[in-house]
A and B are shown apart, each in its own frame.
Chain A
Amino acid sequence: MRAHYGKVTAAFAMISALTLSGCSAGGDSGSTDTGADGGACEPAEGPVELTFTTWVPGMDQVVELWNEENPDVQVTVQTGPNGNSGTYQNFFNQLQAGNAPDLGQIEYDALPNFRVQDGLENIAACEGIANAEDQFVDWTWGQVTFGEDDAVYAVPQDSGPMAMYYRADLFEAAGIEVPTTWEEYAAAAEQVKAEGAYITNFPRSDVNWFAGMVWQAGGQWFANDGEAWDVNLTGEESEQVATYWQDLLSEDLVSTLPSFSDEWNASFNEGQQWTWVSAVWGATTLSDAAPDTAGKWAVAPMPQWEDGGESAGNWGGSSTAVLKGSENPAEAAAFALWLNTDPEALALANELGGLYPAAESAAELEAFAGGVEFYGGQPIYDVFAEASSNVDPDFTWGPTMTQTYTDVSDGFGAAIGGSSTLMDALTEGQQKTIDALKAQSIPVNE
């Protein structure tokens, strides 16, 4: 405390000045810590202390493993609310103030935003990073390099390959074939409706779920040619997906409950929902939402647009990024790599935090072997591992996804209300995204 006294008084004087002046002086921070550039990544001499901000539960215990083995590189875990609930905004504030943590958890769809705002350290030159590519599922590596040469901006942490959870018992009792194509799925939707239930719920506010659908169909919402961004929310594949779900909505074949709400949980628990096309992490969400249906669920690959197809979408997933201004990018990168490839760390992160690792070796982990009771003893993670290898590696997120999600979600709401369509929502989201990019002076092709 005593050592802080001088600083405390200084801060206090400034606060008084601020309050007395009665208005907020703009934050013109003087310190701009540029940090190391991508060319060099020298390990430090002597002991190093790193800070790591994440919202994965139990991560402090995983990091404890590292700290025991690496007395010279001690990592402190700091937790906060999940990214879009405040942690990303804090990262941006801290980057501006020059006191960001060395490492931060960043979801794939938020990475481009940090990249555009120059918040990420290029760790390509750090030891072990360049040849780590083989250790991760293809598409996750694409997410952290943005397709740039000699550039790696984060280490993939977890992923959310998608498949279809379905009520095996109900499908069998009703004599309905489990759909393997989207065409069969729509036909099954009518049959399920005739049974007095819904085939699934259309999640209005989970635009990233919808993006996962477009991803599966082979669509691309964003592209960056190194100079400017292309925004294409209304491409052929997006239109296909939007029209498909619009038809289901118009015919009232899917429900429109708010995702993960109490009603949503109850609906699954009471057998009102027969399928859920969702990510691997949904396995525990489902078993928690619908405890009364234990043993009755099963998992199959996502329905396909083409007969015999194998493609899968992805919903969610994070990376561990080294934030700009870190004084020890070499150690930070080494830690990030260990965290996301070490079998012991991965197993613990799965046990405590429910992460499905982006590392290829995940398939060998004990946690993902064998049957899962809630799913009638089916080894469901085999389905997801297969799905993971069928995710298109080139899907790119835009730099303003929060805004895009909000605008498209608003449009989806109107579509559910019947005053417009899902396609209208995408068209409007397209325009608003272009406007938002321009407003931030991010070059965009029109």
Chain B
Amino acid sequence: MTAASATAPQQPQDADTGRANGPRSRGPRQSMLSRSAAMLIMGVFTLYFLTPIWWLLVSSTKTGGEITGSAPLWFTAESLTTFFGNLGNLFTYGDGLFGRWLVNSAIYAGLGALAGTVIAAMCGYALAKYEFRGREAIFNVVLSGVLVPATALALPLFLIFSEVNLTNTLWAVFLPSLVSPFGVYLARIYAAASVPGELLEAARLDGSGEVRTFFTVSTRLMAPALVTIFLFQFVAIWNNFFLPLIMLRDQALFPVTLGLYAWNSQISQIPELRPLVIVGALVSILPLIIAFLGLQRFWSSGLGAGGVK
């Protein structure tokens, strides 16, 4: 939020000065018109995307009855106390099940994205920097993996994991999260663009092994791309729902998405879960917002670099 509001006002200012000084400046009227049109469209979209989140925030400060009984987009008089009450219930309901789910999600998404990024980076780097037979074929096969939706793979994965008795374990969700064809693609493109061959040559001459060069030199040059891959993977795993739904039966292993879904499907039987699902949904998107804001700068520069190539 802070980053966005800090940069947003600058752009129109720049545009203004540019136009005022430039010889071919268009009339201020037209520029006003097109600018306000652009602002209007952006405003509408912002409203469209933020309203549900606003609703979520407001609703999390209400009791089950108030959600239906009060104005949907504004707070009630006791909002603050209700909110903390809801939050307290959320983390104590079912022996702190929700906290457990958050930790699970953090493990699946955090470690999964970290390991997945390392694997994708190594793979992409190798494809970009080493010449070997079948290189393009491998790359194309990996690329075609981007086209296969993860949902379509869930059932075959379930049957494979059943064969080795690994369903309903942490591994059933963790292992499939490690692979990211898109990450490999991005890593390759970025490594080709940002890691000069001369530098690797110099490292070799200085006696550095390939693995050491990769970890000490190349990964630093590839850092923006790695952050992008990490963020992509983190979000994808955090939001992944179908794979855990199929793989897991033990509530203690659920990630937060599946847990909330399970609660939500029980609302008709246990109405007190209603406010918990809502406040739980709010809490569950916080890590994503934090990850985005924290890594925003790297994220956009990494994407841009991939796009130019």
- A and B together in one complex: yes
By a beta-carbon cutoff of 8 Å, the part of chain A in contact with chain B is 4, 7-8, 10-12, 14-16, 18-31, 51, 53, 55-57, 78-82, 85-86, 89-90, 93-94, 96-99, 101, 260, 262-263, 265-266, 269, 281, 284-285, 288-289, 291-292, 353-354
Contacts of A262 in B (CB 8 A): 67-68
Contact A288 B271 (CB under 8 A): yes
Contact A16 B171 (CB under 8 A): no
Q: A90-B245, A98-B162 are in contact. Are A24 and B68 (CB under 8 A)?
A: no
Complex Cα distance, B87 from A66, in Å, reads: 33
Task: Give the residue name and chain of the A residue nearest to B72 (CB).
Answer: A262
- B264 CB → nearest A CB, Å: 8
Contact B152 A24 (CB under 8 A): yes
Task: Give the residue name and chain of the A residue nearest to B242 (CB).
Answer: A86
Contact B181 A19 (CB under 8 A): yes
Task: Give the residue name and chain of the A residue nearest to B167 (CB).
Answer: A99
- B63 CB → nearest A CB, Å: 10
Contacts of B31 in A (CB 8 A): none
Contact B270 A14 (CB under 8 A): no
Contact A27 B141 (CB under 8 A): no
15 CB contacts below 8 A, A to B, read A8-B175, A11-B175, A14-B160, A23-B148, A27-B156, A29-B162, A30-B163, A55-B266, A57-B266, A80-B249, A81-B245, A82-B265, A85-B265, A86-B265, A265-B68
Contact A97 B175 (CB under 8 A): no
Q: A22-B145, A85-B261 are in contact. Are A16 and B266 (CB under 8 A)?
A: no
User: B83 an interface residue at 8 Å Cβ cutoff?
Assistant: no
Decide if the interface of chain B is mainly helix, strand, loop or mixed: helix
Contact B262 A79 (CB under 8 A): yes
User: B165 an interface residue at 8 Å Cβ cutoff?
Assistant: yes
Complex Cα distance, B168 from A411, in Å, reads: 39
Considering only residues 45-79 of chain B, those with a C-beta below 8 Å from chain A are 64-65, 67-69
- A50 CB → nearest B CB, Å: 13
Contacts of B165 in A (CB 8 A): 7, 99
Q: Of A7, A24, A78, A98, which one neighbours B166 at CB under 8 angstroms?
A: A7
Contacts of B64 in A (CB 8 A): 288
Contact B162 A99 (CB under 8 A): yes
Q: A22-B141, A22-B145 are in contact. Are A4 and B269 (CB under 8 A)?
A: no
Task: Give the residue name and chain of the B residue nearest to A282 (CB).
Answer: B268
Contacts of B175 in A (CB 8 A): 8, 11-12, 15
Complex Cα distance, B268 from A57, in Å, reads: 11
Q: How many A-B residue pairs have CB under 8 A?
A: 139
Task: Give the residue name and chain of the A residue nearest to B274 (CB).
Answer: A288
- B177 CB → nearest A CB, Å: 10
Q: A15-B179, A27-B156, A90-B245 are in contact. Are A8 and B171 (CB under 8 A)?
A: yes
User: B214 an interface residue at 8 Å Cβ cutoff?
Assistant: no
Complex Cα distance, B162 from A30, in Å, reads: 10
Contact A90 B249 (CB under 8 A): yes
Contact B251 A78 (CB under 8 A): yes
Contact A27 B159 (CB under 8 A): yes
Complex Cα distance, B134 from A182, in Å, reads: 76
Contact A284 B271 (CB under 8 A): yes
Contact A20 B157 (CB under 8 A): no
Contact B68 A7 (CB under 8 A): no
Q: Of A8, A29, A354, which one neighbours B159 at CB under 8 angstroms?
A: A29
Contacts of A18 in B (CB 8 A): 153, 156-157, 160
Q: Of B68, B176, B262, which one neighbours A269 at CB under 8 angstroms?
A: B68
- A55 CB → nearest B CB, Å: 6
Contacts of B89 in A (CB 8 A): none
The 8 A CB mask of B238-273 against A (1 = contact, 0 = none) is 000000011001110000001001101110111100
User: B298 an interface residue at 8 Å Cβ cutoff?
Assistant: no
Contacts of A289 in B (CB 8 A): 68, 271
The 7 closest A-B pairs by CB, nearest first: A97-B162, A288-B271, A27-B159, A78-B249, A81-B265, A22-B144, A85-B265
Complex Cα distance, B18 from A230, in Å, reads: 78
Contact A4 B169 (CB under 8 A): yes
User: B236 an interface residue at 8 Å Cβ cutoff?
Assistant: no
Q: A56-B269, A354-B269 are in contact. Are A29 and B163 (CB under 8 A)?
A: yes
- B129 CB → nearest A CB, Å: 20
Complex Cα distance, B261 from A86, in Å, reads: 10
Contact B161 A11 (CB under 8 A): yes
Contact B251 A21 (CB under 8 A): no
Contact A80 B167 (CB under 8 A): no
Q: Of A10, A20, A86, which one neighbours B142 at CB under 8 angstroms?
A: A20
Task: Give the residue name and chain of the A residue nearest to B169 (CB).
Answer: A4
Complex Cα distance, B64 from A265, in Å, reads: 11
User: B185 an interface residue at 8 Å Cβ cutoff?
Assistant: no
Complex Cα distance, B64 from A266, in Å, reads: 12
Contact B268 A285 (CB under 8 A): yes
| Sample of 14 further A-B pairs with CB below 8 A, known A22-B142, A80-B249, A82-B266 | A19-B153, A26-B156, A27-B155, A51-B249, A57-B266, A78-B251, A81-B262, A81-B266, A85-B265, A93-B158, A96-B159, A97-B162, A269-B69, A285-B271
- B244 CB → nearest A CB, Å: 10
Task: Give the residue name and chain of the B residue nearest to A287 (CB).
Answer: B271
Complex Cα distance, B270 from A354, in Å, reads: 8
Contact A11 B171 (CB under 8 A): yes
User: B164 an interface residue at 8 Å Cβ cutoff?
Assistant: yes
Contacts of A11 in B (CB 8 A): 160-161, 164, 166, 171, 175
Contacts of A31 in B (CB 8 A): 162-163
Task: Give the residue name and chain of the B residue nearest to A267 (CB).
Answer: B68
Contacts of A4 in B (CB 8 A): 166, 169, 171
Contacts of A26 in B (CB 8 A): 156
The 8 A CB mask of B167-188 against A (1 = contact, 0 = none) is 1110100011001010000000
Complex Cα distance, B144 from A218, in Å, reads: 57
Complex Cα distance, B160 from A16, in Å, reads: 12
Chain B CB count within 10 A is highest, among A28, A93, A291, for A93
Complex Cα distance, B270 from A11, in Å, reads: 38
Contact A8 B166 (CB under 8 A): yes
Complex Cα distance, B159 from A291, in Å, reads: 47
Task: Give the residue name and chain of the A residue nearest to B164 (CB).
Answer: A7
Complex Cα distance, B167 from A90, in Å, reads: 12
Complex Cα distance, B164 from A15, in Å, reads: 12
Contacts of B264 in A (CB 8 A): 81
Contacts of B245 in A (CB 8 A): 80-81, 86, 90
- B226 CB → nearest A CB, Å: 20
- B280 CB → nearest A CB, Å: 15
Complex Cα distance, B167 from A51, in Å, reads: 14
Contacts of B160 in A (CB 8 A): 11, 14-15, 18
Considering only residues 122-163 of chain B, those with a C-beta below 8 Å from chain A are 138, 141-142, 144-145, 147-148, 152-153, 155-163
